[in-house]
Amino acid sequence: MTGDSAHPVADETPAAVGDEGNEKAGSDATRRGLLKAAAGATVAGAASTAGCLAVTTPADVAARNEVSGNVAHVVGPGWLADHREDVVVLDARDPDRFRRSRVYGARRAPVDALSAQDRTDGGLVPDVDAIATVLGDLGVAPDDDVVVYGASVGSRVTRVAFALAALGHAGDISVLNGGFGAWNGRVGTGSRDRVSSVDYEPDPAESAWVTREWIADRVGSFNEGGPGLVDVRVPEAYLGAPGSDALDPDHDRHGHLPGAINVHWVGNVAGRRMTDPARLVRLYEAEADLDRNAPVVVYGDENVDPTSTWLTLRAIGFEDVRLYDGGFGEWANAAGDRGRYPVETATSVVIETDGSVGGEDRGGDFSCTG
């Protein structure tokens, strides 16, 4: 049973955001002159506060999260309001939040099920059949245009987007900038709406991911004229820093894949919204020196967090971005000839990021100064 009510302020207010939205693009050009163009593709970073003495209205919050310019796969709440009847909306939050309040008509996407993996001779890959079954049960057809949202634009949301892409989804795939806290339209409550299941026939897009063996065949070539390789974990994990709490005790080895550079995925997010696109272009092209016209592979410990970087790079125009679905956990614990799966600590390139992920309930953030 669903209800229709005003957006609740107490439970789904926007978290404080970082300073990313206030950064100026500056005059520094990237090596291909793309920074200037990206500077025009901004996510609105400041809501109007005219007449506001004590509070920011829901309309202000929605305006702060609108998207303009040449940014792919990310839409604002105004766009969703205008197209709500034409898209399938998937909610990547936990069941309690979904039942409490959601975009009206949204269907809850179980992130764990949509992260399912299949073990092959080449290594772990997305389990496209299992993922297709989940989406079919949600009534998602292969040609539906889909918008995914969560509490922010964090990795749970982007994992759902990647799951769709891995199936070769024919419809458009987008995420909602600002998450549910930015939505000021019609909402629903209670248990999920009844939807008719469909038979989702996947057309796997195997170019969206790589395997352990694909990487092993290319060790020594990454970021040296070959594909780019980005480790999205915290720097301490990438460096294999002895004694660090960031090291997974279940891993046999620590460090990173040879040739990988480190760009922590949290740099993609400013509170609940996407980091300013001009800043992202500087981060990945000027600072990380990635080539938007060459393949780029991203990986983390597992297969959820790196999807944030996967989607971010696609959003700012990188043409060929792939996920190593097995992640460092598979690589570090590989059996057999470990000389084929070396781990590196001596050579390291860490690109500093300063993002922050919102999404938890935080009292006092819904204000003119928040």
Burial of 266 (0-12, 13-18, 19+ CB in 10 A): buried
Decide if pLDDT at 221 tops 50: yes
Residue of 236 and 30 predicted with greater confidence? 236
pLDDT tens figures, 67-108: 878 899 999 999 999 999 999 999 999 999 999 999 999 999
Q: For residues 210 and 126, give the distance between their C-alpha atoms in angstroms, rounded to a whole number.
A: 10
On the question of a common fold for 20-204 and 207-356, the answer reads: yes
Look at residue 192 in the predicted model and tell me its pLDDT.
64
For the domain spanning 207-356, the CATH number is 3.40.250.10
C-beta of residue 43 within 8 angstroms of C-beta of residue 273? yes
Q: Considering the chain, what percentage of its residues have pLDDT values greater than 90? A: 73
Look at residue 357 in the predicted model and tell me its pLDDT.
79
Q: Output helix, strand, coil percentages for the chain, rounded to the nearest 5.
A: 30, 15, 55
Residues 6+ apart with CB under 8 A from 243: none
> 2-6, 183-187, 193-197, 319-323: which has the minimum mean pLDDT?
2-6
Most confident of 167-171, 334-338, 364-368: 167-171
- pLDDT grade, residue 193 (50/70/90)? low
Sign of the C-alpha dihedral, residues 334, 340, 343, 349?
negative
CA 319 remoteness from chain centre: 16
- pLDDT grade, residue 225 (50/70/90)? confident
Residues 6+ apart with CB under 8 A from 17: 270, 271, 272, 273, 356, 358
Residues 6+ apart with CB under 8 A from 252: 332, 333
Tally of helices (H runs) and strands (E runs) in the chain: 11, 18
Q: Considering the chain, what percentage of its residues have pLDDT values greater than 70? A: 81
Look at residue 191 in the predicted model and tell me its pLDDT.
79
Decide if pLDDT at 178 tops 90: yes
Report the b/e string of 210-236 with b at 16+ CB within 10 A: bbbeebbebbeebbeeebbbbbbbbbb
Look at residue 355 in the predicted model and tell me its pLDDT.
75
Query: Where in the chain are the domains?
Result: 20-204, 207-356
Residue of 352 and 56 predicted with greater confidence? 352
For the domain spanning 20-204, the CATH number is 3.40.250.10
> CA distances (Å), 123 to each of 130, 207, 303, in order?
17, 15, 13
- pLDDT grade, residue 305 (50/70/90)? very high
Residue of 48 and 239 predicted with greater confidence? 239
Q: Which residues pair with 321 in a beta bridge?
A: 296
Q: For residues 301 and 292, give the distance between their C-alpha atoms in angstroms, rounded to a whole number.
A: 24
Look at residue 364 in the predicted model and tell me its pLDDT.
29
> CA distances (Å), 240 to each of 218, 235, 245, 306, in order?
22, 8, 10, 18
Look at residue 255 in the predicted model and tell me its pLDDT.
98
Average pLDDT value over all residues in the chain:
84
Look at residue 356 in the predicted model and tell me its pLDDT.
75
Q: For residues 81 and 185, give the distance between their C-alpha atoms in angstroms, rounded to a whole number.
A: 7
- pLDDT grade, residue 211 (50/70/90)? very high
Look at residue 56 in the predicted model and tell me its pLDDT.
65
Look at residue 336 in the predicted model and tell me its pLDDT.
84
DSSP secondary structure letters along 309-353? HHHHHHHTT-S-EEEESSHHHHHHT--S-GGGS--B-SS--EE--
C-beta of residue 233 within 8 angstroms of C-beta of residue 273? no
Q: For residues 310 and 113, give the distance between their C-alpha atoms in angstroms, rounded to a whole number.
A: 19
Decide if pLDDT at 27 tops 60: no
- Beta strands 117-120 and 123-126 are antiparallel
pLDDT tens figures, 98-109: 999 999 999 999
pLDDT tens figures, 112-166: 999 999 999 999 999 999 999 999 999 999 999 999 999 999 999 999 999 999 9
Q: For residues 109 and 90, give the distance between their C-alpha atoms in angstroms, rounded to a whole number.
A: 6
Strand runs (DSSP E) across the chain, as ranges?
A: 74-75, 88-91, 102-103, 107-108, 117-120, 123-126, 146-149, 173-176, 187-188, 209-210, 228-231, 261-263, 269-271, 273-274, 296-299, 321-324, 350-351, 356-357
Decide if pLDDT at 202 tops 80: yes
Residues 6+ apart with CB under 8 A from 133: 200
Burial of 294 (0-12, 13-18, 19+ CB in 10 A): middle
pLDDT tens figures, 267-292: 999 999 999 999 999 999 999 999 99
